[in-house]
Structure 1
Amino acid sequence: MSQQRVYYLLTAVSGFLFTFAFTLLLVFHVRVAELSPVQLVLVGTVMEITCFLGEVPTGVLADVRSRTLSVQLGLILIGLSLLLQGSLPVFGWILAAQVVWGIGYTFTSGAIEAWIADEVGEERLTHVFLRGQRFELAAMILGSVAAGAVGVLDLRLPMLLAGTGYVVFALVLVAVMREPGFTPVAAGGRLTFGQMRDTLDAGLRQARRRPLVRSFLLISLLAGLSGEAFDRLWTAHVLDSFTLPSLFGISSVAAWFAAFAIVGQLIGLGANYAVERAGLTVNAYPAALLGVLTLIQVAGMAGLALAGSLWPAIGALWARDAARALSGPLESAWLNRGIDSPSRATVLSVNSQFDAFGQVAGGPPLGALAGRTSIPVALLCSAGLLVPVAVIFARPGRRAAPPGVLA
């Protein structure tokens, strides 16, 4: 099996398992664990602190030793975190599970993109990332269906089954995931602190000196500041503010939130296909398109906060999620083309670290604001924090920028 096909398999299976576990996770937190708005945000903050601390060390290890091993270890830890959380729905144990999840995520963050970039070449990255996302979104639809069907029985079951699936899939990847295009720094098998320090230094130099990387670090910071509270609070807002009607005779919260996810994923899948089909991704540096997608996200977040009835609120959520999903592969392909292969996973981890720092810095204050005022106020503030990202993409001179430079 070619490594490009392995990448598509990885995106599809990971998308299915992630959605299977997380479609109803916040419903589980609200209805089973009975977490308050502040606790909901603290759960995410603990996870993001773990990601912030672990991103760079795990990225360096992926560059120095093995990106495939890093991915496999990460998936196993994610699976164990879901098993822990589903087995013990108590606030303290949920926090512990976030630590395990955060460590597992940092092993995969940057390593997956760096691995496939070396295997397929930078010229094909946009196409591969967009096609991989279509496999992922299609699998996520199935994951949402499965979550709804199983979650009706017990909100803990999706996490327990997905956790087992992550561990099994990691073992499958041991047999099929290879990295012939990658030359590890520790080629002789002996890993030293000197090798890790040199790789880290090379990655940090790129982060400091290259305008492209610096711009994406700022974008990630702002996205983190904006996203943590919104992602943690929108479910509670819908549950608190609107009455969910009967769906084909079923009034289960699990069925409704699975349906919301499925429709959103279908919209994202259609947007992905339409954008590539229209040739809007031919430009290797799609600043204008990313600026528009950012504004759609802002409008969707504000729309959810301000909507007075259920369906306008959910429509705004679908628009925001589709725009964010489409932005992901475009940004990833652009950034990967602007960094050097030997320290690629390290630079990508630094970028993720800025996102984690933003979420740690932005989540608790907005969670406290939601507790002192209301959740819609916090959601509106989250939308406002994302506006500068569109400004960064729209800065004058962008079209004239040479390859690898965000002017």
Structure 2
Amino acid sequence: MYLYLNCLFEFYAGITGATFILFLYSNHLDTMETNIIVAVSLITTFFVEIPTGALADYLGYVKTSILTGILLCITNIIFLFCNTIPLFVVAQISLGLASAFESGTLDAWVIENTSQKESEHIFIKKNKFISIIMIVAGFMGGIIADFCLKGIFLFALIASLLFVGLSVFTMPKLQGSFAREQKYSILDNVNGMKKIVIDSFHYCVKDKSIRNIILFNSVLTFAFSPVFVFWSPALHNFENVNYTLIGLAWVFMRAAMLVGNIVLEKWLHKSFLTLSAVSVACGLCIIGLAFFKKFWLLFLGILLFEFLLGLIYPLKETVLNVGIESENRATILSFNSLVASLFNYVSMILMGKLATIFTIEMTWICSGITLVIISTVILVPNIKKMA
């Protein structure tokens, strides 16, 4: 049941992943307005993730799972029937709240109602299931969008209603008899967020290595954001490129990232040196995207970018985890997520404005150059140490 609920929730991200930006453009929004709307859900989740976790503890996971589905339904209904910026903002706030509730509800529910061995097995299967649903839903979204662009939200709404139905009728029947852990109030969780920031700041002041890793991870997030937002409009601008082809491109992009994961596991050494070297290559790739004027060249460039992401994501997680002392791990990982989210939000606003004034390609050049410079600054001293 946990896997079904996760897949139904992630179905929204999959079916809209390839075409959501194009949907906003079809409503005559410029790049700045589009980026602000996309960023609204991210910043909402950023501010409410810890309080919603406390609320899930207080109300119970079944109730907050139902609330998650209802919020996702509201998001899809607004996008399906409305076409104004204020309502799009409301929809994204609803999506951000749904994402925050989901992250604090489903994982906690399965841990509370299964044994440790069962929950570990379920979490392993979760990533595989989500990868499959993201690929299938993304391709479906492209096909559906060619018939009706708003149709992606109709299918996402159906998935959301199924999510609510399973939460209402099935989750209560699966409540286990395992002991509930001590729960904390919303105030306790807000104070916990303050403690994370304060403790992490003091720790990073003392540990230069961890500070550099967190800043570098945030730069990666900043540089990747324009590619994530603008890849589909850039491909769709070419002649005879329909939404189905965009959906198919999404499938190949997911596959390219998976290949990157496999290559890293089999052949590459997981170190900060490897991360910075691959990041230089990724920065050059992002710059190159700005100069590809044929569809297939740009598409292959985006596939290369996704392949490099398949290397970078596990690398940056490994490098950070290895560098943290065990007793500070949870605190620093939370702080890393907070800082990266902030950089992502700033990038969306800044690059959206840049794309409005100049072009999408200019945002890729700027983010690519930023990544190359920062990565090189880190890479060169590491090479000298090895010499």
Q: TM-score, normalised by structure 1?
A: 0.73
1:203 aligns with 2:200: no
When the two chains are superposed, the root-mean-square deviation of aligned CA atoms in Å is: 4.4
Contact 1:74 1:108 in 2 (8 A): yes
CA gap of 1:192–1:95, structure 2 versus 1, over 3 A, is closer
Contact 2:273 2:382 in 1 (8 A): no
If each structure's helix is expressed as a fraction of its own residues, which one has the higher value? 2
1:7-406 map, 5 Å: 12-31=7-26, 33-58=27-52, 73-74=67-68, 76-108=70-102, 132-169=126-163, 172=166, 174=171, 183-186=181-184, 191=185, 193=187, 195-208=188-201, 209=203, 211=207, 214-215=211-212, 217-240=214-237, 242-244=238-240, 253-276=242-265, 278=266, 280=268, 286-325=271-310, 327-329=312-314, 331-332=316-317, 338=324, 344=330, 350-387=335-372, 390=375, 394=379
Partner Cα separation in structure 2 for residue 11 and residue 25 of structure 1: 20
Deviation, 1:91, is 2.4
Computing the radius of gyration from Cα coordinates, the structure with the larger value is 2
Q: Which of 217-226 and 38-47 deviates more?
A: 217-226
Partner Cα separation in structure 1 for residue 122 and residue 319 of structure 2: 12
Partner Cα separation in structure 2 for residue 96 and residue 40 of structure 1: 14
Residue type of the partner of 1:287? F
Deviation, 1:261, is 0.7
SS in 1 for 2:147: coil
CA gap of 1:265–1:343, structure 2 versus 1, over 3 A, is closer
Deviation, 1:228, is 3.5
Residue type of the partner of 2:162? V
Deviation, 1:296, is 4.4
Partner Cα separation in structure 2 for residue 326 and residue 177 of structure 1: 39
Partner Cα separation in structure 1 for residue 274 and residue 281 of structure 2: 11
Partner Cα separation in structure 2 for residue 128 and residue 339 of structure 1: 28
Partner Cα separation in structure 2 for residue 80 and residue 387 of structure 1: 41
Residue type of the partner of 2:24? H
Deviation, 1:19, is 1.0
Partner Cα separation in structure 2 for residue 64 and residue 350 of structure 1: 24
In structure 2, list runs of 5 or more residues that go unmatched. none
SS in 2 for 1:152: helix
Residue type of the partner of 1:370? A
Partner Cα separation in structure 2 for residue 269 and residue 197 of structure 1: 37
Partner Cα separation in structure 1 for residue 141 and residue 176 of structure 2: 31
Cα shift readout 1:344-377 (whole Å, capped 9, x = no counterpart): 4x76554333233223322233222222222211
Structure of greater relative contact order (alpha carbons < 8 Å, 6+ residues apart): 1
Partner Cα separation in structure 1 for residue 160 and residue 150 of structure 2: 16
Partner Cα separation in structure 1 for residue 61 and residue 145 of structure 2: 34
Contact 1:47 1:101 in 2 (8 A): yes
Identity over aligned pairs, percent: 19
SS in 1 for 2:240: coil
Partner Cα separation in structure 1 for residue 267 and residue 164 of structure 2: 35
Q: How many residues align?
A: 373
Deviation, 1:310, is 0.9
Partner Cα separation in structure 2 for residue 348 and residue 102 of structure 1: 21
CA gap of 1:152–1:58, structure 2 versus 1, over 3 A, is same
Q: TM-score, normalised by structure 2?
A: 0.76
Residue type of the partner of 2:240? L
Partner Cα separation in structure 2 for residue 214 and residue 67 of structure 1: 36
Contact 2:258 2:310 in 1 (8 A): no
Partner Cα separation in structure 1 for residue 319 and residue 107 of structure 2: 12
